[in-house]
Each structure stands twice: as C-alpha cells, then as structure tokens.
Structure 1
Amino acid sequence: WDGQVLCNTRVRLFIPHLWISAALAVHPDRSQFFVYDRVALTCGPPGCSGGWTLQRNTSTHAARTCPSAWGLQTNGSACVIDTVYPSDSGVYWCGSELRGRSSNSLNITVTDSDVILQSPALPVTEGDRLTLLCACRGARGEPPPAAFFYKDGAMIGDRPAANVTFAGVSRSDEGFYRCAVPGRGESPRSWLAVRVAAEPPPPTPPPRPPVPRLACVVLLVVLLVVLHVLLVAVCAKVRRKVRGDASGHPQS
C-alpha cells in the first residue's frame, strides 16, 4: 500500500498513491565533527512529527534506530547526540514505517584529531556559492587558520589559504576534499556532492493583445451591414424573377 503522510500537530492523513519523501538534515551543517561535539539530526516533511525514524550504520553496528540504540529523541523525528565519538562515524538516514521507505543518506565522520574540514553534509546545487574552511580544535571564534586544501589527493593552489571558495560550483568540482594545517595536522577527507540544478520552466508566451471593445463593435456593425446588403440583393433578385415569370405566363 502506497500512501502520503501529511502531518501537523493533531492529525496524520494517509492518501493512497501519493508520497512525500523525508529530508534528512544535520545541525551544524557539516560532515566532520570533533570528539565531544554535539550533533542534531532531523528528518521528515516540514511539520511532520511521526512516521519517520532516524537510523544509522556504523563500523560497529548496522541499522540501529534512535533513540532505542543511540542518541536522544527530542521531539518527533529529531534526534540529538550530546557527545559524539569516532564510533558514531557512519551513514545516517530516515526510515519510514510504510513499506520500508527511506530518505537521502549522509556520511558523518567524527575524529579525535585537531583538524576538521568544514564542508556541507548534503549535496550542493550547481551554480551555488560554496566556501570550504579548515577548523582547529579549541579555536572557536578565531579566524580560520591558513591551510593547504586538497581535492582527490592533489593540492589546490601552491600556498596555504584561509579557505577555498567556489563562486558557482559545477559537477566537475565533485570529489574528496581534505585540508592540512601546518603544525596541527590534517583533517579526514569528505566527499563533496554536486546535484544538477533544476531546469527552469519554459517561458510563458506573451499574452495576445486584447482587441479593443470599440473595434469589436465596429466589426460587428460592418458584418451586419454586409449581411443586410446581401439579403436585400437576394430578395430583389427573387422578386424580379417572380415578376418575370408572372408576366410571361399565358392567360387562359
């Protein structure tokens, strides 16, 4: 049975043959975290508090559900991990109670090193502006350090930089990224996914200019006059024919 879950604070409706997919999000929006960071995950259509559960696969456990095996469920389909550890690294997704439906998935990496790469956990859209930063443990509120950035193992640029900025990302920017801060170490690598931008709808043809009402009236009058003239001509022709037939008929 297929259905759509429509939720608000009081009611959940199931409409056959329609479906709204859940969307998984992580807060803060990044894929790498330091040990002891706090991570919050949410799933489900906006305003929907039921029907979806957060699940994960890690290196130690498969398909474990929040909050029965990990995390703290705060409200509805939101789950919080107050203190993350490397054992929390893995793949996270939203599962549905209806026929095993599932949402998008994302990878979370928890490291005990001093450096992480701040890159988005979810795919970015072609054309979006994107900035990658390198962060050091215990440096909250400080400017990002100068770091070397790498894509697929190759260094970006020839000197340390505070960030890597893409004015408009493209599919060619997809890949594994990491960063290294001299004297502090390097981050794990993370996959940057780029999704194709939705094509804009075809332009709406310009509306036809409205015909002025006066022009319509004039056209109607002209048509009526022409019709009247034609009727008069036909009637006159018929009368002439009738008179001719009457004058040429022999009298008895």
Structure 2
Amino acid sequence: MKEIILFSFLSAVGATLVIQPNTSQFFWYESITLTCGEAGSPDGWLLKRNTSAHTSQMCNSDWGVSSSATRSSCVIKDAYPPDSGVYWCQSELGENSHSVNVTVTAGDVILKSPALPVTEGDAVTLLCAAKEVKSGKAAPDSSAKFYKDGVFLGNQSAGSVAFSKVSKSDEGFYSCELPVEGKSPQSWLAVQARAEPPPLVPMPRLVCAVLLFVLHVVMFTVCVSVHRHLAKARADSKKGASPER
C-alpha cells in the first residue's frame, strides 16, 4: 500500500490537539486517542480530519467513538490505513488549531516519532519498531537503518536515534528500515523555537523610569493641592465681599 502523506496549513490558535500515544505512525488495530483542549476545557471545539476519502470529517461511529457530547475528543479503537490523514480542532467560528499527521500502516515496521512539535533543546528519541505477530504490539528491533529526507543517516544497533538536544536543523522527514521486516513510512519531525524570555531592562534605564514616575506623581499631587487652595481662596474672597443684609 502506498504511503499517504497529507499536509494542512492551519492557523494555531486557542485550542491544542493532544494525541495519545504521542507518535505519528501506528500499526493496524492499534488504539489512538485525540483530544481538543488542555486541562479539561475543550468547550466549543470539534475534532475533525482530512483523509484520502473524506474532507473535514467529524468523529462518528464509522471510524471513532466520541468520549464527549461536544465531539471534542475521539477514540479510534482499531485503527486502519484509511484512518491515515490530518487531524485538527476547529471552533464554532471556524478557527483552527495546529494539525497532526497520522499514518496507519499495513506494513511490519513503523517509526515511533513525536506527532506533536518538539522544542529546541529537548531530548528526542526516534524508535524503529517491528510488529510482533502474536501480540500485535510494536517492539524495538536490535538493528536499524535510519533516513532523513531520503538520505541515509547510518545504522543504529539499538534500533533508535537519540537527540540529546534537538535543534531546528534536525527538523525533517524521517524513516527507518529493518533487515528482515522492511522499511517504515516516513514522518515529519517538527522542531519549534524555544520561547525567549523578555529582555531585562538595564538598571540605569529602570531607575530613570521609576524616578520619572515618582516625579509625575509628585507634580500631579502638587497641582491638585494648589488648585484646591486657589479654589478655597476664591470662595473665601467671594464670601467676604458679599454685602450684609
């Protein structure tokens, strides 16, 4: 079966799409859980997907079980290759979250790679896994070849590639190959920049800002006090100038 790779250019806004387990490749009959939102606040968001056969499809009995009345989460109990596609969250106003690419293969090898973006500096491990016929679960192989963007990276005796501190240059399409079972589909490893803390204000500039603020407060207080005294003086002078009856 030919590998299906789908892309979605969706704006990242309020909701977050969470996938469990956090991997982009699955074997037949594996379970996948997708949820919109964090900390149990998915109100107003719908889980949708694009596949080779359907566009903007919501979770339904044909392919998943919705675990909430709002259809903000979905469990695919027995995944099939037609479930391969792009999944995302959409609000009632048409706003979209980031998207997640999911590949369900009928083959014997998958690459366990994070489906969600990783952050620069994080430790990331890519695992080449073979399907065990008896249990139907993925198990790591002792030796594997790894590829990035179609280019051979090398043999790994442990069946995995580890990045102690992943960088933007590590972003790309990865796949692996086992000697007997064959090659996995390829998956995109997304690396996002680490959020930089706001720059610190230099001490002299901070002191000047504080002094200016204090000066403005003092000037305002003085102006208010002078205005009150002048108003009181005018009132007293008018009262003194009034003729007695």
- Structure 1 alignment gaps of length 5 or more: 1-19, 209-252
Q: CA offset at residue 158 of structure 1?
A: 4.7
- Gap change, CA 1:91 and 1:34, over 3 Å in 2: same
Q: CA offset at residue 36 of structure 1?
A: 0.5
Aligned to 1:111: 105
The equivalent position to 2:115 in structure 1, one of 114, 117, 121, is 121
The equivalent position to 2:79 in structure 1, one of 66, 77, 84, is 84
SS in 2 for 1:172: helix
Q: Return the letter of the residue paired with 2:89.
A: C
Alignment of 1:5-154 (within 5 A): 21-67=14-60, 70-75=63-68, 76=70, 77-98=72-93, 100-138=94-132, 140=137, 143-154=140-151
- Structure 2 alignment gaps of length 5 or more: 1-12, 208-245
Between the two structures, name the one with larger relative contact order (CA 8 Å, sep ≥ 6): 2
Q: Return the letter of the residue paired with 2:192.
A: R
Q: C-alpha separation between the residues in 1 aligned to 2:131 and 2:86?
A: 24
Q: Return the letter of the residue paired with 2:114.
A: P
Q: CA offset at residue 200 of structure 1?
A: 1.9
Q: Alpha carbon RMSD of aligned pairs, Å?
A: 2.3
Aligned to 2:231: none
- Gap change, CA 1:49 and 1:122, over 3 Å in 2: closer
Q: C-alpha separation between the residues in 1 aligned to 2:139 and 2:61?
A: 38
Q: Return the letter of the residue paired with 2:91.
A: S
Q: CA offset at residue 78 of structure 1?
A: 1.6
Q: Percent identity?
A: 54
The equivalent position to 1:164 in structure 2, one of 161, 165, 181, is 161
Q: C-alpha separation between the residues in 2 aligned to 1:141 and 1:175?
A: 23
Q: CA offset at residue 25 of structure 1?
A: 1.1
* C-alpha contact 1:21 1:45 (8 A) present in aligned 2: no
* C-alpha contact 1:115 1:184 (8 A) present in aligned 2: yes
Q: CA offset at residue 49 of structure 1?
A: 4.0
Aligned to 2:170: 173
* C-alpha contact 1:29 1:120 (8 A) present in aligned 2: yes
Q: CA offset at residue 95 of structure 1?
A: 0.7
Q: C-alpha separation between the residues in 2 aligned to 1:158 and 1:82?
A: 34
Q: C-alpha separation between the residues in 1 aligned to 2:138 and 2:109?
A: 15
Q: Return the letter of the residue paired with 1:192.
A: L
**What is the number of equivalent residue pairs in this alignment?**
189
